[in-house]
Amino acid sequence: MASSGIEVELLVRGHSDVGEVAREVKASERGTAVAIADLEWREMEGDDCEFHYGDGTNEAQDSDFPTVERSRLQDMLSLLGLETYQVQKLSLQDALQISSDSVRNWAPQAPRDLPWTFLRKLQALNAEARNSTTVVPDTPPDARPVEKESQVEEIVYWDTADDVSADIYSFSELPTPDTPVNPLDLLCALLLSSDSFLQQEIVLKMSLCQFALPLILPDSENHGHTFLLWALRGVTRTWWAQPPRGVGGLREDSVVLPRAPTFAFVRMEVSSNSKSQLLNALLSPGHRPRACFWHRDLSVGTGPREIADGLVEISWFLPSGREDLDLFPEPVAFLNLRGDIGSHWLQFKLLTEVSSAVFILTDNVSRKEYKLLSSMKGSATKCYFILSPCRGKRNTNLRLLGRLLPVLRVDHSHVLVKVSSTDSARFVHRLRSIVAHVARSPCRRLSLEDMAHAARKLGLRVDEDSEECQRAKARMERVTGATRGALRLQGDPGGTAAQVDRELRQAPWAGGPAGVLQDFITGLGSPSPGEKQYFLRWMEWGLAWAAHLRPRQPPEPAAALRAKPGAAADASEPSRPEPLALEHFLREMGQLYEAESCLVEAGKLPAGQRRFAHFPGLALELLLTGLPLELVDGTTLSAPLRWVTGLLKELHAHLGRRSRLVVLSALGVPGTGKSTLLNTMFGLRFATGRARGPRGAFMQLVTVAESFSQDLGCDHILVIDSGGLIAGALATAGGRFELEVSLATLIMGLSNVTVVTLADTRDIPPAVLQAFLRLEKAGHMPSYQFVHQNLRDVPVPGPKPRDRWWLLEQPGDVSRATVQADRQADGLRTLAELAFCDPEKLHVWHIPSLWHGVPPMAAVSLGYSEAIFELKRCLLENIRNGLSNPNRSVQQLIELVRRL
């Protein structure tokens, strides 16, 4: 016992000149003794003490909270304008509506603007979403409040006028319109006001921005905390997996499934070192700083948390396969508890049960802390201390720490000292070495699903445990347990009609489809909208897990984590079978409806005996909830006319008087970022990536707020995403090219405006150019914007006039050959010769690369987000000013589909 104390003393002695650390403790943390008393202290006897935390439930959670705690959350929600969303939660559709804010600056003018500003910036993958600052009109910048040295966390300002020298940073004071809001408070308030599907979208976008994700959401108002398993289940990441033996490859999976070593960082009482700052340094490869965890030195200022104490965040390090960037050879998870462990014992207890090691940051180890940590006696979790000791309490610290180390079965190597004179780089390097050593040795490895199981045992609520969610999961398991053979009508439409005819004659009008498809349709017909949405999400994931691809082996690991623009598959190579996905079930429904309609038209089936007439209505409900619906069959590149017409008729009936539509589409070669661009622009859910990108064409509906629809001139925007078009020397080879020309002609003919993504500014995809020529002959005048991404030598996003002439006058070799073939005896014809091309109005938008750095640890670049917002604003302004083709009614769209 004594020797341990001597060793710790020697470790700290070199820093005896460290002065007393000035600090301010929040009122709630000064009350830590109250929380500890609730946890049933047992008197210390001799050198041993025992800390009872009851039967696994959180006594502090079950006890009555002080009135000020209950009102603090309500006041925060009221301040942010979220109090109305406590019963009827904010939905994903609410958040994605297009309003006047979509075409103007994001600067919030009042506290109630903050949640919407945060959501819009997240939707646009803006890496500065957490930095939202209210701008008061006509207020000079120097009128903003001056930061105090004692501030602890980042804030959001909304009033820069009055004198704020009063004690606004006291934790006992609730927010008012002239005090700052902590971004973590904003996040917690927004999550508490959102339904499960908006929570999932928020977490997904935060992941793409490389923000730390919420894992345990505190809720003092309802005396409970929530483990966000469902919210995290939708986050999918890709990393380089290197097995002990054999060749490595890329692995893609939901973050809730893999088992990985996990390291928790917590604060005990007060620490002069910032956990979040230390974690960011730990996750950064030296010259490339990252800001995963929010901390006091990011952005505009600092301020106290009001409702976010008790929040647990999670982030991962994921290897890329490059030795110069990979800090660890395998995925490693890091947890961060906001607040003091004494006030949040339940969260701390969970972290000790799920982590490979726990790092405890503190300035003091007093009798109270000794009692608290002694309760961990016998725990298998490794404990490490990061101290910044105060000179005035040095002896007490060393004596109690010397007694504590053997209780926790650790030695002085588990005590790290970091003071102002410590070399930060060397300290971080040492910390990484400890993490790597623990990860290499036999240690606890849990997935988030395993952690959720531990959370349930401790009495935490798990968001995935709702009855609707579990019923939907059980139905999904029944459906996905069947094989691909259950869907028999994929492929040639002519053969489908004959097959349906045979089936109908064998069992005439004896109910609906049998087997797995019937289970799927039953799931769609659930009377509960929530259960229906849960079922669709479960189906997406269940089918993805069932068709999980083997690790891929690219020639260059790092390069393979990026999409390569312009790359084209060999048209002569036989295509591999598509993994079974949600669109196959909907396609099966469409084929049944299409074939049955053919039989009715041919007089082989009485109209009154139709069984599938309600299918378009079921599909429409999915479109209205945000699911992409197939417009053109990805296998045959054909549009099922009767099915699409039936869908649009149902849409017309549903929209009623608000049926004015603008159709916006995207075309281009694979790897040029069409789907990601649309998703970022409008918050949509089009599939992205080579393995999952669209093969035909899909559509989603975006609602325009009623308050803005008159100004914009439409009620909804129908967004169409297409599969990649063949590029390169094989572009005009084989019959597929003609199908792609028909696809491009249909999509551009339906669209008010088309975004064409380019792999090279000098070469339009041949199918697009051919479609331009056909539409011109038909008298159709398409409106379009060209987008070129990943241009390395263009630092400023936006339209570049000089590239108009490259595109108009200098077609590439493939485009030239295509135009010559179409022109026949007329000789070469360029895009500039087309009647609808105006060089002065043609825009070639240069969009910076999506990633800032090397994936999977790269964040979305700020330049990409800003350029996408400018493009979106330009498109909406063109629609509002009538520069694009005039809007159409749904009925007009139906006629266009039939004609094209």
Check residue 763 and give its pLDDT: 66
What is the 8-class DSSP label of residue 328?
S
Rounded Cα gap, residues 643 and 591, in angstroms: 8
DSSP assignment of 436-489 equals HHHHHSS--EE-HHHHHHHHHHTT-EEGGGSHHHHHHHHHHHHHHTS-GGG---
**pLDDT tens-digit map of 390-427:** 765 667 777 788 888 888 888 888 999 888 888 888 99
Rounded Cα gap, residues 472 and 755, in angstroms: 37
Q: Are 390 and 15 in contact (CB under 8 A)?
A: no
Q: Are 712 and 660 in contact (CB under 8 A)?
A: no
Tokens representing 825 are 């005896």
Rounded Cα gap, residues 26 and 15, in angstroms: 28
Per-residue pLDDT for 601 more than 60? yes
Task: Name, in order, each residue with C-beta under 8 angstroms of 857's C-beta and a sequence gap of 6 or more.
Answer: 210, 283, 290, 317, 318, 320, 325
- Please state which of the ranges 160-174, 567-581, 732-746 shows the lowest mean pLDDT: 160-174
DSSP assignment of 254-308 equals ETTS--EEEEEEEE-S--SS-HHHHHHHHHS-SSS----S--TTSTT--B--SS-
The closest alpha carbon to 863, from 680, 666, 678, 679, belongs to 680
Per-residue pLDDT for 228 more than 60? yes
Tokens representing 153 are 């966390």
Check residue 694 and give its pLDDT: 65
Per-residue pLDDT for 301 more than 70? no
Check residue 678 and give its pLDDT: 94
- Please state which of the ranges 220-224, 540-544, 553-557 shows the lowest mean pLDDT: 553-557
Looking at residue 475, its amino acid is R
What is the 8-class DSSP label of residue 633?
-
Rounded Cα gap, residues 200 and 235, in angstroms: 8
**pLDDT tens-digit map of 548-581:** 644 444 434 333 444 343 333 333 334 455 678 8
What is the 8-class DSSP label of residue 27?
H
DSSP assignment of 537-556 equals HHHHHHHHHHTPPPPB--SS
Give the rounded percent of residues in the chain with a pLDDT score beyond 70: 69
Per-residue pLDDT for 431 more than 90? yes
Q: Are 765 and 784 in contact (CB under 8 A)?
A: no
Rounded Cα gap, residues 229 and 445, in angstroms: 17
**pLDDT tens-digit map of 666-711:** 998 887 889 999 999 999 999 886 556 567 899 999 999 999 999 9
Check residue 372 and give its pLDDT: 84
Check residue 634 and give its pLDDT: 79
Element at 592 (helix H, strand E): helix 582-601
Check residue 499 and give its pLDDT: 59
Stretch 49-73: mean pLDDT:
46
- Please state which of the ranges 222-226, 288-292, 375-379, 729-733 shows the lowest mean pLDDT: 729-733
User: Vertex 691, ends 231 and 486: CA angle to 5°?
Assistant: 85
Check residue 504 and give its pLDDT: 54
Check residue 5 and give its pLDDT: 44
The 3-state secondary structure of 39-105 reads: CCECCCECCECCECCCCCCCHHHHCCCCHHHHHHHHHHHHHCCCHHHCCCCECHHHHHCECHHHHCC
**pLDDT tens-digit map of 502-523:** 555 544 434 456 678 888 999 9
Per-residue pLDDT for 58 more than 50? no
Band of pLDDT at residue 804, cut at 50, 70 and 90: very low
Check residue 379 and give its pLDDT: 82
- Please state which of the ranges 147-156, 242-251, 644-653 shows the lowest mean pLDDT: 147-156
User: Vertex 812, ends 806 and 815: CA angle to 5°?
Assistant: 115
Check residue 880 and give its pLDDT: 87
